[in-house]
Each structure stands twice: as C-alpha cells, then as structure tokens.
C-alpha cells in the first residue's frame, strides 16, 4: 500500500464517518520556536467498527466458500 | 512568479524554502484537487506533514535532502492521479456494501469457471479436453465438499429446493435459457429461511428485543437502527413484548403486524448469515440488493413491424419505422411493468428504488433483486423476453447441476446469449448422463451461480463446517462482536 493510495482511502473513511481524526502537536526536542510538527491520528468510530464487523462476517462467508471449494476436511485445513 | 511562490511559502512553511519542491508540488496538487478550501487545506496539511516526516526518515538513512525530497514525492505518485483518488474516495459508492457478497460469489464462480469466460476461438480440442478434465476435478471436489457435510436427506431437500423452475423449463429442450436460471435462482433467494424457533422473554428496549430474537436463534444480532428510525423504532425505546415459540419469520411478521407505530409503507426485515441475523428496514435491504438487468425488446419490435399495413419502401423509411417502433414498444412495456410491479418504487412514479431506461432495442431495468421475479414474469407474458445480462456478474456465471442418482454433474455455462448445458462424466462413476434432457430433467439442480444465492447456500450449509477451523479475526472486546 503506497502513501498515494493510503491517504485518499483514509480521506474516504473520514468523509464517511468511519474514522475519527485528531491532530496532535509533536514537539520533538527543542526545535525552533512555534514550529512543532503536527501529526494526525486516526481512530475507528462506532460506525466504522460496525462496518468492520460486517466486513468480517462477509469475509468469513467468503473464506468458507473457498475452503469448501478447495475441499479440505476438518483435520487437514491449514490454519 | 517568484513573488507568488513566496506568498505560498509564507502560508505553508516547509523546510527548505524558498524554492522548496515540496511546497510547489503541494500547490500543484491543491489546484488539481479543486475542492472547497477547508477540505483541500486539510489534505494539503496532512500530506505536508507526511512528506516532512518522510524526508526526515530518508535523510536519516543517508540520503541527501534533495534526493529524499524527490523520493518522498515520487512515492506519492502522479499528482493528477492522486487528486483523482481523493475525488473518488469522497463520493461514496452505492454498491460498496454488497461488494463482498458479490465478490465472494463471482470469485467462486470464476474459480470454477476457470477459462470459460475468456475462451479464445481458436482453442484446440485437446486444450479443451484438458480444461474440461480440470474443471471436472474441481467440480467434483466442490460438490463433494458441499454434499458430504450434511446428511443425505437434507442435501436432497436443499438441492431439490434450489431450482425447480430451471429444471421445469429445461424439460423437453436442449438448453436452459439464462432467464429460466435467473428466475429460478431469484425464486431460491425468496425461499424460506432456515427455521429457528425464537423464544424471547419480556424485554425492555428494541435493542434487547432484536438481540434476544437473534439469541433465540443461536446467533448474534446486528441491527441497523438508522434504517429503522423512519419506522419509529429507536434502540432505547421501550417495547415490552414477549415472543415465544415462534419461527423467526413469524416473529418478524408478528412485529410488523402488531405495532401500530410502524407506518404502512415500512416493514422490519432481516437477513441471516452464518453468525448473525441482520435487522433493518425492508427499504434498506431493497436499496442494498438493487441490481440492473438488460432485456432485449427486439422480438416485440419485430412483431410490431410485421403488423404494419404498408411496409416502408425506402431504406430511410425502414430505419425510421424501426426506430419509432422501438420507442413505442419501449414506452408501452415500461408502462406495463411500472403498473404491474410495485408501482411506487419507480423513479418515474416518484419513487427512488427502481428505474427503467430504453436504449435502442434494449431495456435497462434497475430494481431490488426480489422484484425481478415479477418483472420478468410481466416481460415473459408480454413477449417472451429473456434477460440479456445482469450487472451483478451473471454473464460469467457457471451453474452446476448435480444428479444425485448418478452422481453425475451438469455444467451450465455462458455461451453467447444462451446457456448451453453439457454433462460431465465423473471418473469414478460408471454411469454417464447421456443427454442433457435426462440429466437435468431427472434431478439436476443448480448448486453454484454467481447470483448471491451462493453465499446463502454456502453459509447455511457448507460454510458451517469450514467455519469451525477458520481463525477468528481479533477485534477489541467491547461487546460489539458476539
């Protein structure tokens, strides 16, 4: 995942309300006055968590199909 | 030019001024973004902070600053492309949430279909045979996996249940039309859900009610209260209701019929997956399960032209009457459908869920999946039309039919506009289903298709065994995942 793909995706998540963001001022050692670096934090929102949950369910169903397709039996399926 | 740059510099200080390439690159991007100022500013700020960090990291690895800046910018890729990505990310995709289901279904169909979709014309017979053998093996494994996992009686019932109509329409013909299969699968989609007996005690809130209905069915619940809000259902609102010994379906019907608060046009609906029951409004599911199919109206246009008293004498005249016949037929049939099927959902009637558009001799119909059965009935009655294609991936579908008596398989593959069937002989079975007629007609039933049926089928049947050894994804335990 390159940064050029990642940032638009994060922006999309943000505009759909799936993540909450906040800026933080990072003052590493004694840099010039006022010029602290800023860092953006992303946190999954309640809505985002719900969506993740749905995706996981869909993913499980998908995995189940593939597993059924490649025909592993209980004992021999790779973990 | 230089004064302009200095202005920008003072607005967004970046190390390395005054001719800092980071800043000018960000200027270019900001222009390309062409978004409201606050949005493009926030994107700019984030990327500036990223680039600053990245340049710092790269210089720590020994690059000089110029190299580091160039590397950091080139990692972000072409500015125009990046701007496009931001634009795409902003506009939410309507179909995104059904994507997983469709993806699962088409992926499995594609796996089984293998080279079917991209079959080149000049393929040699030998290659074809090798492919068939390969396909055959895969199919055998698949059906083995599907069928072996439950008791025979249940399998039989399930298979029999899945597409009686496809079988019926294949009777006496040597091909199954795509329309017959689609409508059969749509029918299967509408088939009764697995039966759970729901027992829930006196409950307080809607949230608890839905939770306990799901719990009674041995599953977790996921309730979309946003969609239920217009029905007057709020998660924290008190209900005070007892449901006992009902099937899930009956429990929901009971709810729909016994709550005067629920306006006439809204209903609670649900979907069952392997681990959850999802509750939401019927409209929500309708919106989520919308699809587009195209239908040819050519047969009707031709029959209308045949009836014309005086056929046009010039080429131009022929073209003109053909175009106007298409228009007339398109309008008539659209009206008919919109009157016969769920009048209020059509955009032409002020609805939001469904639309019909005609282009040339084709009708494009977008509607919730569950309504297509009736739409196609109207189309068939009006002029024996079959769907040409569907937007949910059906053109590349593969339908596999199983003959439980002989253990033979029937594969229905796309081939031009119709689906031709061929039987596949299993190496370990000494009986070959000689003709399609006998194989399909005797007992063949589609098991796999690219329509969403597949996910329910596998989830409810085959999925159960596989699920037990799938690694559980880890989610912070805050009670959301049950």
pLDDT at residue B308, as a whole number = 64
Distant-in-sequence, close-in-space partners of B296: CB < 8 Å, separation ≥ 6 = B361, B362, B363, B385, B386, B388
CA distance to partner chain A, nearest, from residue B52 (Å): 9
Which residues of chain A lie closer than 8 angstroms to B468, CB-CB? 74
Q: Which helix (H) or strand (E) holds A64?
A: helix A46-70
One digit per residue, the tens of pLDDT, for chain B of length 482 reads 333 333 333 344 444 445 578 888 888 888 888 888 888 888 898 899 888 888 988 998 888 888 888 888 888 887 878 888 888 777 654 333 333 333 334 434 444 433 333 333 344 566 655 655 554 444 333 333 333 333 444 444 434 443 343 344 344 433 333 334 433 433 433 344 445 556 666 656 788 888 877 776 677 788 888 888 877 788 887 776 666 666 677 777 777 776 655 555 678 888 876 667 888 888 888 888 888 888 888 878 877 777 665 666 666 777 777 788 888 888 888 998 998 888 888 988 888 889 999 888 888 899 988 888 888 888 877 775 655 544 443 333 334 444 444 434 444 443 322 333 333 333 333 332 222 222 222 222 333 222 222 222 222 333 322 222 223 333 333 333 32
pLDDT at residue B355, as a whole number = 93
Rounded to an integer, what distance in angstroms lies between the CA atom of residue B23 and that of residue B37?
Answer: 17
pLDDT at residue A28, as a whole number = 59
- State ipTM: 0.73
Q: Which residue of B has its CA nearest to A15?
A: B90
Which residues of chain B lie closer than 8 angstroms to A53, CB-CB? 222, 475, 480-481
pLDDT at residue A16, as a whole number = 83
pLDDT at residue B27, as a whole number = 84
pLDDT digits (tens, 9 = 90+) for A26-65: 765 555 555 567 788 888 899 889 888 888 887 887 777 7
pLDDT at residue B434, as a whole number = 25
CA distances in angstroms from B52 to B46, B73, B371, listed in the order given: 10, 10, 55
Q: Do A15 and B90 touch (CB under 8 A)?
A: yes
3-class state of residue A44 by DSSP:
strand
Distant-in-sequence, close-in-space partners of B198: CB < 8 Å, separation ≥ 6 = B213, B216, B217, B243, B245, B246, B247, B248, B251
Rounded to an integer, what distance in angstroms lies between the CA atom of residue A65 and that of residue B142?
Answer: 9
pLDDT at residue B311, as a whole number = 60
pLDDT at residue B346, as a whole number = 92
Rounded to an integer, what distance in angstroms lies between the CA atom of residue A74 and that of residue B468?
Answer: 8
Rounded to an integer, what distance in angstroms lies between the CA atom of residue B260 and that of residue A55?
Answer: 34
CA distance to partner chain B, nearest, from residue A45 (Å): 12
pTM above the 0.90 mark? no
Which residues of chain A lie closer than 8 angstroms to B50, CB-CB? 3, 7
Q: Do A69 and B112 touch (CB under 8 A)?
A: yes
Which residues of chain A lie closer than 8 angstroms to B43, CB-CB? 7, 11
Q: Which helix (H) or strand (E) holds A24?
A: strand A19-26
Q: Do B470 and A67 touch (CB under 8 A)?
A: yes
Question: Rounded to 5 degrees, what are φ and ψ at B401?
Answer: -110, 145
CA distance to partner chain B, nearest, from residue A79 (Å): 7
Rounded to an integer, what distance in angstroms lies between the CA atom of residue B452 and that of residue B188?
Answer: 10
Which residue numbers of A have CB closer than 8 Å to B's CBs? 2-5, 7-9, 11-12, 15-16, 35, 37-40, 49-50, 52-72, 74, 77, 79
Task: Note whether B290 and B366 are within 8 A (CB).
Answer: yes
Rounded to an integer, what distance in angstroms lies between the CA atom of residue B401 and that of residue B405?
Answer: 12
Q: Do B145 and A77 touch (CB under 8 A)?
A: no
Q: Which residue in B86, B88, B470 is closest to A63 by CB distance? A: B470
Q: Which residue in B43, B467, B480 is closest to A64 by CB distance? A: B467
Q: Do A62 and B462 touch (CB under 8 A)?
A: no
Q: Which residue in A3, A53, A74 is closest to B50 by CB distance? A: A3
pLDDT at residue B133, as a whole number = 53
């Amino acid at each position: 995942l390159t940064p050029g793909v990642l940032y638009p995706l994060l922006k999309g998540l943000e505009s759909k309300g799936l993540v909450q963001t906040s800026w933080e001022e990072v003052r590493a050692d004694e840099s010039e006055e006022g010029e602290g670096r800023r860092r953006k934090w992303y946190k999954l929102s309640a809505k985002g968590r719900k969506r993740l949950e749905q995706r996981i369910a869909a993913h499980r169903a998908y995995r189940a199909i593939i597993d059924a397709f490649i025909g592993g039996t209980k004992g021999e399926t790779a973990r | 030019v230089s004064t302009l740059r200095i202005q920008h510099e003072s607005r967004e200080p970046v190390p390395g001024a005054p001719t800092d390439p980071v800043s000018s690159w960000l200027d270019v991007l900001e222009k390309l973004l062409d978004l409201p100022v606050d949005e493009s500013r926030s994107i700019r700020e984030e990327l500036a902070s990223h680039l600053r960090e990245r340049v710092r990291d790269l210089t720590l690895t020994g690059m000089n600053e110029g190299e580091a800046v160039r590397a950091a910018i080139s990692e972000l890729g072409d500015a125009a492309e990046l701007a496009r990505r931001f634009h795409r990310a902003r506009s939410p995709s309507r179909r995104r949430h059904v994507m997983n289901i469709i993806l699962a279904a088409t992926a499995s169909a594609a796996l089984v279909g293998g080279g079917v979709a991209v079959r080149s014309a000049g393929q040699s017979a030998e290659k074809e045979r090798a492919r068939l053998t390969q396909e055959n093996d895969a199919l055998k494994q698949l059906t083995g996996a599907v069928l072996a996992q439950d008791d025979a009686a249940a399998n039989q019932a399930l298979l029999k249940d899945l597409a009686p109509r496809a079988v019926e329409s294949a009777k006496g013909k040597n091909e199954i039309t795509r329309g017959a299969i689609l409508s059969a699968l749509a029918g299967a989609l509408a088939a009764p859900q697995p039966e759970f007996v729901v027992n829930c005690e006196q409950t307080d809130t809607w949230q608890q009610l839905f939770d306990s209905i799901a719990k009674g069915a041995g599953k977790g619940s996921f309730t979309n209260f946003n969609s239920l809000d217009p029905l007057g259902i709020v998660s924290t609102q008190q209900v005070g209701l007892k449901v006992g010994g009902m099937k899930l379906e009956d429990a929901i019907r009971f709810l729909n019929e016994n709550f005067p608060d629920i306006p006439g046009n809204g209903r609670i609906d649900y979907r069952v997956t392997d681990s959850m029951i999802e509750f939401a409004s019927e409209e929500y599911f309708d919106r989520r399960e919308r699809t587009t199919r195209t239908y040819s109206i050519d047969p009707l246009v031709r029959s209308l032209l045949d009836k014309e008293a005086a056929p046009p004498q010039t080429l131009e005249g022929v073209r003109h009457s053909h175009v106007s016949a298409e228009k007339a037929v398109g309008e008539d049939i659209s009206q008919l459908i919109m009157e016969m099927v769920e009048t209020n959902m059509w955009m032409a009637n002020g609805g939001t869920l469904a639309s019909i558009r005609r282009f040339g001799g084709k009708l494009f119909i977008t509607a919730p999946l569950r309504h297509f059965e009736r739409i196609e009935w109207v189309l068939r009655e009006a002029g024996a039309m079959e769907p040409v294609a569907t937007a949910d991936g059906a053109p590349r579908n593969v339908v596999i039919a199983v003959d439980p008596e002989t253990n033979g398989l029937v594969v229905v593959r796309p081939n031009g506009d119709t689906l031709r069937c061929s039987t596949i002989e299993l190496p370990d079975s000494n009986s070959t289903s000689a003709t399609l007629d006998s194989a399909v007609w005797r007992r063949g039933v589609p098991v796999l298709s690219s329509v969403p049926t597949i996910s329910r089928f596998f989830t409810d049947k085959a999925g159960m065994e596989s699920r037990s050894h799938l690694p559980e994804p880890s989610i912070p335990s805050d009670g959301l995942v049950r």
